[in-house]
Chain A
Amino acid sequence: MLGLGVDRLQADINRLLTSLFHQGVLDEQFLQLQQLQDETSPNFVYDVINIYFDESEKLLRNLRLLLMDREFSDYKKIGLHLNQLVGSSSSIGARRVRNVCVAFRSASELSNRPGCLRGLEVVEHEYHYLKNMMHELFQLEQQRILAAGVRYPM
């Protein structure tokens, strides 16, 4: 809070990122994304991720609705949704979400309803995990920026 924690916060952020990389939650694409952020768009990553979450939230909701429907047969629509999800996930480098989505998609291509349901659950789980992690990351980032912003009169 007093600006002394900048290094510590940075270290925390790095540690968190490293662990996310280790777990395969994120991949290099996220780094690419971070590199895109510069002075002209200081909140670029944050924005993109937020958009991603919004979009994904919508997609997941739709998927759930579709799958919960008794007389459901529109696997093509599910495929479309999933394509979207896969695309955006790989864009931000959410590797695990992307991977489980791919699995989900292959289940949907086979019109395997139980597989789809299971896939949805896994995707949701991964998605929430990613969301939590990202939330944490952004909080740390926030704190770091705040801490870095503290100046002491000399």
Chain B
Amino acid sequence: MSITCQLSKANQSTGGVKWIKKPLCFLILCGLTTSVVIVLLIFSPLGKKEEACSCNGEERVLFRHQNVTTTEVHALVSFFSDSDQVTSFECRKEFSPGMWSNYGITCSLNMRLEKQETKSCQERRVVAQRFFIPDRGVPWNLNPSGLGHSISPEACVCDNLEQSLLQPKEPESHGEELDWDLSTYLRNTWWWLILGVLVCHKIFVFHSKAPTERKEKVFLQEPLAQKQQQQRGQPPFKGAGRWRKNILLLGVIAGVSISIWWFWDTNEEIISIRRETLANMCDERARVLQDQFNVSLNHVHALSILVSTFHHGKTPSAIDQKTFGEYTERTNFERPLTSGVAYALKVTHSDRAKFEQEHGWTIKKMETEDQTLAQDFVPENFDSAPIQDEYAPVIFAQETVSHIVSVDMMSGEEDRENILRARASGKGVLTSPFKLQKSNHLGVVLTFAVYDTILPHNATEEQRVEATIGYLGASYDMPSLVEKLLQQLASKQTIAVDVYDTTNASGLIKMYGSEIGDISEQHISSLDFGDPSRNHEMHCRFKHKLPIPWTAITPSALVLIITFLVGYIFHEAIIRIATVEEDCQKMMELKARAEAADVAKSQFLATVSHEIRTPMNGVLGMLKMLMNTDLDAEQMDYTQTAHGSGKDLISLINEVLDQAKIESGRLELDNVPFDMRFVLDNVSSLLSGKANEKDIELAVYVSSQVPDVVVGDPSRFRQIITNLVGNSIKFTQDKGHIFISVHLAEEVREPHNIEDAVLKKRLALGCSESGETVSGFPAVNAWGSWRNFKTFYSTENHNSDKIKLLVTVEDTGVGIPVDAQGRIFTPFMQADSSTSRTYGGTGIGLSISKRLVELMQGEMGFVSETGIGSTFSFTVVFGKAETNLPVTKFERFDLAIQELKGLRALVIDSRNIRAEVTSYHLQRLGISSDIVSSLSMACTCVSKLGNLAMVLIDQDAWNKKDFAALDELLNCSKETTGSPPKILLLAKSATPVMRSEMKSSGLIDEVVIKPLRMSVLICCLQETLVNGKKRQPNSMRRNLGHLLREKEILVVDDNLVNRRVAEGALKKYGATVTCVESGKAALAMLNPPHNFDACFMDLQMPEMDGFEATRRVRDLEREINKKIASGEVCVDMFSKVSSWHVPILAMTADVIQATYEECMKCGMDGYVSKPFEEETLYTAVAKFFEFG
């Protein structure tokens, strides 16, 4: 994991997350390899089991062999018993039991042991032998019938004993061996794996380091070159690719080497097993051969003893040629390996004549060239033996070799030597192999000396020679001997056997064998035929060459295939990764470009919109100018259309500009305190015209919990509201209502604790599907529109100085089709293409609104049902105003509010919710109100409600009959309380004619046109309640011309041009203008008494600037006023004006706050921004001339 972490860390700069996967892949690959190795290792012991099975097979062979030996014993016993010579045999056995028993049984058991444990080491054999050595002394009970049994139980006992001896060791060692093998394999593999991982990591680190270094270098060299940047991006990828390829190559090489190593290992094992098998088989054969030969040798020995006993020991001899021949013929099965036996007598030269005479034949000499027991030659043809010290003429011979009777064995070189050695050693002696005449096979002759006395074991050579009376010879046919033997053994087909006589080290004499087989791998085991002077060897080899080692090839080939497959897969994967990375790179580039393009687009839009605005202003200005010229009606219409279109275009451009600004993140929100209710009033008055045109009821409600002043961006807030309401008006057709409501988010968070009456009614919790609405037309339940707000229920800002407002705009319009609801906030996207045809617009407004809301940390949502309407909701976060200072936007209303405060009103409205809205508006003016739902209801309760100042009746609740009753009641109360309550009718729309009609009828004091808003309400109430001033709000808007007509105005400016312009402008409105060009002159002019009604003063003038001049003027005025007040001077002197204060207005180009404050400080009354505009001039001047 640490490696992975490191790797990922190292690569975070370049590759990102996907890099983590690569080492993982590699680890997985390693894991895979390990598991494969483990699985194959588990399978490999099976081979060993097979081996064990083959051992068993061999064991079985051995048993068979043992059986053979037992049958042989049986045969011997039966023969002896048959020929009535058992006793002598028994004697003989008792005579030398040790040698006999030891020999045969030890040998066979030894062999057996060796077979049993193919893998057994020398040590174990030693144990076994040690175990058998004490057995030597065990007296042999040669019970003829029990012999076979006695051998086998012995073997069994031995087996058992040996097993009991070896068992604790054997399984342990076996298990250990296996364990060791497996654990070493695993450990080795693990070490290799860890090493591999470490190496890979090193390589990886190196590789990942190198590109970053390169990167840095490149970065330092050319930080700006785009192409270099691209190259910078590429090296890590290339490096990574190379790294991966290296890993892959490493993996493949590892896989290949594992497979090769495996093959080599298994093959080696196979070869060693084969070699071992060969050695075993060879040893087995050698031993069997040796054994057989020895058995046969013993028989010959026995024969010699027989001869000595019955021929020499008995007089007269019990044996003659016939008996000998018969006996040997009959016991030939005992010596299956001999081709014939003969007995030669030792005859000294002195006895020769006597001997020849006795037997009736002369001793014949053996031909040197055929010193064999050949058959096809006639002994009579032989020359008689030359005179020698001693002769060894054959007197008895087996039938097969009867022709050698009378041949002197001493005459043959080989035989003579043999005889001499035999009698000297007292043991069986072998000749070197030679060709037998008869069978043309190689053979050897075995010679035993026959002594006339029983010699002790330690008899000297001389004694032996002395005691010698004859010689017994037997010829062995080697090939047939070996062949016969091999016939009995298993797997004779697979093994080729050669037997060599190696007495003469320089020249090996081959006694048996063939040329087949691979000589390169052969096993040599020595043979002991009981003749110490002669050495024999057995060479074994397989007949067939080593078969193709499929067991080694298959798994390694599999590993190889798996390696290549995995390698191929990984290669493909690497290529894929590379392409994907490349693609990703491309995508990133494209993405960057797209983003850049997007930014460029926004910037372009912003710039272009801005640039369009300037000429558009020109166009609009020109159009306005054109409209001021003499145009006929048609032309006027065209121009007005053009002007209207231009205005639309400007507003569109402004919207686009907003959008672009928001998108490019350049829109910044103001943070100023403002009154939300005032903003909403503004919006509703702005849109009331349109709403009234369509006969839609527009209502605004702000929850009482919303603070008066909040801190935010009023203009943007207004933009959002205007947008939504504008949309609603656009999509609402001549019926229903548009209802704007503002609540605190906390208010609606818990639906069951809502206290606000309007909200309660709207949501209509728990009763019907839709709540009560303003107009009575059904609307969509607003709850749905804010239900999905994410931040709505979060209480993050709960305690901070922020407040979260929830604004809903509900309409009863056409609604938004469900399929279009998803894209409603996408810029330039309307519900469907026909929308723009039907209703116009570009579809950018909602998108801007949403963005703005998001900028204000809010959310926007909506619910809509086709045919019923839509409800848009949004939340905004505003700051709480630090102090509860009222925003000085409408001080002019303050007075009125003071007047109206504390009054009581009765609202009669059939719709409760609408009544609540009315009540809210009255509440703002400090008027408390009661609500009744109808006129008749009002009749019943009006008496209880004393001291009513006004009764507001909705148009819907109006009817003359009921009203008459109410009116009466009210008039009654008039008598008690004083003035009767004023009756106000709330109407959606009313033509002036209608209004005057109503008023003149005397029933109604005033008609209030909805939507209700503070200014309207105040004006109406003032008009009706405060009887003093009959002042209509609209009358304020008088022509500027009237204000300035006949006024004397002084313009002070050093700039001639400005002077002229100002003069021209003021003159146009009928003022009489006097111009002076410096502060001093102005001072002179304004020194009372004078006739000027106002003075426009430039601020920046040489010598004496506007501030200074004003200050001086004010000083002068103060002085004069003081004088007048104190009566020092007569008022008449100053044109009968008691208090001099000429309004001085600053003219300045830069209208900054500081300047404004300074102006005020030095006694100015206002200011006009320099290039005169009608509006500003009007507002500035109006203050002073309104009542003049």
Would you give the shortest CB distance from B732 to chain A, in whole angstroms? 37
Residues on B with beta carbons closer than 8 Å to the beta carbon of A84: 1054-1055
Please measure, in the bound complex, the distance between the C-alpha atom of A31 and the C-alpha atom of B1061, giving whole angstroms: 12
Determine which residue in B1055, B1062, B1174 has the highest number of CB atoms from chain A within 10 A of its CB, and name it.
B1055
Interface residues of A in 20-56 (CB under 8 A from B): 21-22, 24, 27-29, 31-38, 40-41, 44, 47-48, 51-52, 54-55
Residues on B with beta carbons closer than 8 Å to the beta carbon of A27: 617
B19 within 8 A of A: no
B1067 within 8 A of A: yes
B1058 within 8 A of A: yes
Are A32's CB and B1056's CB within 8 A?
no
Are B1061's CB and A36's CB within 8 A?
yes
A86 within 8 A of B: yes
Are B618's CB and A52's CB within 8 A?
no
Q: A17-B622, A18-B622, A93-B1171 are in contact. Are A32 and B1055 (CB under 8 A)?
A: no
Please measure, in the bound complex, the distance between the C-alpha atom of A33 and the C-alpha atom of B1063, giving whole angstroms: 11
Are A38's CB and B1068's CB within 8 A?
yes
Q: A29-B1171, A31-B624 are in contact. Are A91 and B614 (CB under 8 A)?
A: no
Residues on B with beta carbons closer than 8 Å to the beta carbon of A36: 1061, 1064-1065, 1067-1068
Looking at the complex, which one of A14, A52, A55 makes contact with B622 (CB distance below 8 Å)? A14
**A interface SS class:** helix
Residues on B with beta carbons closer than 8 Å to the beta carbon of A54: 1056
**Chain A residues with a Cβ closer than 8 Å to the other chain, count:** 36
Residues on A with beta carbons closer than 8 Å to the beta carbon of B622: 14, 17-18, 21, 31
Q: Which residue of B lies closest to A22 (CB)?
A: B615
Determine which residue in A21, A34, A87, A88 has the highest number of CB atoms from chain B within 10 A of its CB, and name it.
A87
Residues on A with beta carbons closer than 8 Å to the beta carbon of B1170: 87, 90-91
Are A31's CB and B1064's CB within 8 A?
no
Looking at the complex, which one of B614, B1054, B1058, B1171 makes contact with A32 (CB distance below 8 Å)? B1171
Please measure, in the bound complex, the distance between the C-alpha atom of A21 and the C-alpha atom of B110, giving whole angstroms: 128
Interface residues of B in 1033-1066 (CB under 8 A from A): 1053-1058, 1060-1062, 1064-1065
B1102 within 8 A of A: yes
Residues on B with beta carbons closer than 8 Å to the beta carbon of A143: none
Are A34's CB and B625's CB within 8 A?
yes
Q: Which residue of B lies closest to A54 (CB)?
A: B1056
Are A24's CB and B1060's CB within 8 A?
no
Are B1171's CB and A31's CB within 8 A?
no
Would you give the shortest CB distance from A137 to chain B, in whole angstroms? 14
B151 within 8 A of A: no
Would you give the shortest CB distance from B392 to chain A, in whole angstroms? 150
Looking at the complex, which one of A21, A33, A41, A90 makes contact with B615 (CB distance below 8 Å)? A21
Would you give the shortest CB distance from B235 to chain A, in whole angstroms? 49
Interface residues of A in 47-70 (CB under 8 A from B): 47-48, 51-52, 54-55
B796 within 8 A of A: no
B532 within 8 A of A: no
Are A55's CB and B1056's CB within 8 A?
yes
Are B621's CB and A44's CB within 8 A?
no
B382 within 8 A of A: no
Q: Which residue of A lies closest to B1053 (CB)?
A: A87
B936 within 8 A of A: no
Q: Which residue of A lies closest to B628 (CB)?
A: A35
Please measure, in the bound complex, the distance between the C-alpha atom of A88 and the C-alpha atom of B1055, giving whole angstroms: 6
Looking at the complex, which one of B1057, B1102, B1173 makes contact with A91 (CB distance below 8 Å)? B1057
Give 19 new A-B contacts, CB below 8 A, not counting A17-B622, A55-B1056, A92-B1061. Answer: A22-B618, A29-B1171, A32-B1171, A32-B1174, A36-B1061, A36-B1064, A48-B1057, A48-B1060, A51-B1057, A52-B1057, A55-B1055, A87-B1055, A87-B1058, A87-B1170, A88-B1055, A90-B1170, A91-B1055, A91-B1061, A92-B1057
B interface with A by C-beta (< 8 Å): 614-615, 617-619, 621-622, 624-625, 628, 1053-1058, 1060-1062, 1064-1065, 1067-1068, 1098, 1100, 1102, 1149, 1170-1174
A interface with B by C-beta (< 8 Å): 14, 17-18, 21-22, 24, 27-29, 31-38, 40-41, 44, 47-48, 51-52, 54-55, 80, 83-84, 86-88, 90-93
24 A-B residue contacts at CB 8 Å?
A17-B622, A18-B615, A18-B618, A18-B619, A27-B617, A28-B1171, A31-B622, A33-B1064, A35-B628, A36-B1067, A40-B1067, A41-B1067, A47-B1060, A48-B1060, A51-B1057, A52-B1056, A80-B1102, A83-B1100, A87-B1055, A87-B1058, A88-B1056, A90-B1170, A91-B1062, A92-B1061
